[in-house]
Chain A
Amino acid sequence: QKEVEQNSGPLSVPEGAIASLNCTYSDRGSQSFFWYRQYSGKSPELIMFIYSNGDKEDGRFTAQLNKASQYVSLLIRDSQPSDSATYLCAANSNSGYALNFGKGTSLLVTP
Chain B
Amino acid sequence: EPEVTQTPSHQVTQMGQEVILRCVPISNHLYFYWYRQILGQKVEFLVSFYNNEISEKSEIFDDQFSVERPDGSNFTLKIRSTKLEDSAMYFCASRLGVYNEQFFGPGTRLTVL
* A interface, CB within 8 angstroms of B: 31-32, 34, 36, 42-46, 49, 51, 88, 90, 92-93, 95-104
Across-interface contacts of A51 in B (CB, < 8 A) = 99
Binding site of B, secondary structure by majority: helix, strand, loop or mixed? strand
Would A49 and B101 count as touching, CB distance under 8 A? yes
A46 to B45 Cα, complex, angstroms: 16
Interface size on B, residues (CB 8 A): 24
Task: Using known A-B contacts A44-B43, A88-B43, A103-B42, determine if residue A95 contacts B102 with beta carbons closer than 8 Å.
Answer: no
Across-interface contacts of A36 in B (CB, < 8 A) = 104
Would A103 and B107 count as touching, CB distance under 8 A? no
Would A44 and B41 count as touching, CB distance under 8 A? no
Distance of B52 from chain A, by nearest CB (Å): 15
Q: Within the complex, which residue of B41, B48, B89, B101 is in contact with A97, where a contact is CB–CB below 8 Å?
A: B48
